[in-house]
């Protein structure tokens, strides 16, 4: 997780403050830990078996969640401001 965060730090726009990045990292570390604890190799998601590697499954799940949240933010914020993508 630390390597992933350090990679993000190199690529994320400098307009995001260090404090915000540290908060994001803390939240992701908590969520990652919860995913590892909850992992069940016999689980399925929409009928598809989870990844046999719990670390890979945790990362894949978090990426889906974060992507969904960002899309929701984009959509709601864009429509509030009247500048939704065409």
- Secondary structure class of 10 (helix, strand, coil): helix
Rg (CA), the chain: 16
DSSP secondary structure of 13-69: -TTS-HHHHHHHHHHHHHHHHHHHHH--TT-EETTEEPPSSHHHHHHHHHHHHHHHH
The pLDDT, as a whole number, for residue 76 is 87
In tens digits, what is the pLDDT along the chain, a chain of 86 residues?
Answer: 667 666 666 666 566 777 888 898 899 999 999 999 999 999 998 899 999 999 999 999 999 999 999 999 888 876 666 665 54
**20-39 as b/e, with b when 16 or more CB fall inside 10 Å?**
eeeeebeebeeebeebeeeb
Main-chain phi, psi angles of 49, to 5 degrees: -60, 145
Tell me, yes or no, if the pTM score tops 0.85.
Answer: no
């Amino acid at each position: 997780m630390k390597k992933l965060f350090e990679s993000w730090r190199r690529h994320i726009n400098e307009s995001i403050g260090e404090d915000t990045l540290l908060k994001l990292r803390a939240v992701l570390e908590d969520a990652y830990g919860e995913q590892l604890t909850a992992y069940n190799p016999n689980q399925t998601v929409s009928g598809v078996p989870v990844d046999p590697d719990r670390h890979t499954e945790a990362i894949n799940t978090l990426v889906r969640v974060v992507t969904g949240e960002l899309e929701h933010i984009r959509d709601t914020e864009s429509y509030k401001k009247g500048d939704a993508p065409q």
